[in-house]
């Protein structure tokens, strides 16, 4: 399925606010921004690059997974503003439900 849906103005504003809250270019800062965004909604690789200044999103996702965060990847085909089609990841943070022994 090809999507040509732009990021909503509300989501863009939320991502930009997260970007302003967690400044810095190092991987740790990028991971903080990404985790903060994932706590509210799913985010594509393009959105992470454009609005959160996360240069290599898959690397940050891997770091967060190693920290124990359950992040799933769904693949999407999107068309950019220039009309070019790309396959990108859509990342979502899943809640981890504790299963206590009865």
Q: Give the residue extent of every domain in the chain.
A: 2-93
34 near 64, Cβ under 8 Å? yes
Residue 63 has pLDDT above 60, yes or no: yes
Task: Give CA–CA dist 36/78, Å, rounded.
Answer: 24
- Average of pLDDT values for 35-64? 94
What are all long-range contacts of 53-57, with beta carbons under 8 Å and residues at least 24 apart?
53/19, 53/25, 54/30, 55/30, 57/89, 57/91
- pTM given for the model: 0.83
User: With 70 as the cut, is the pLDDT of residue 102 above it?
Assistant: no
Tens of pLDDT, residue by residue over 81-99, are 788 999 999 999 996 543 3
pLDDT for residue 4? 55
Please state, in angstroms and rounded to a whole number, the distance separating the CA atoms of residues 59 and 87.
Answer: 17
**Average pLDDT value for the chain:** 87
Q: If you count DSSP H runs as helices and E runs as strands, how many of each does the chain have, helices first?
A: 4, 4
């Amino acid at each position: 399925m090809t999507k040509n849906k732009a990021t909503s103005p509300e989501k863009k504003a939320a991502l930009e606010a997260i970007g302003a809250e967690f400044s810095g270019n190092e991987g740790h800062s990028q991971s903080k921004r990404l985790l903060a965004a994932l706590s509210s909604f799913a985010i594509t690789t393009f959105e992470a690059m454009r609005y959160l200044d996360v240069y290599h999103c898959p690397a940050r996702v891997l770091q967060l997974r190693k920290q124990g965060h359950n992040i799933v990847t769904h693949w999407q085909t999107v068309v950019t503003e220039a009309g070019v089609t790309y396959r990108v990841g859509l990342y979502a943070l899943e809640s981890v439900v504790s299963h206590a022994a009865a």
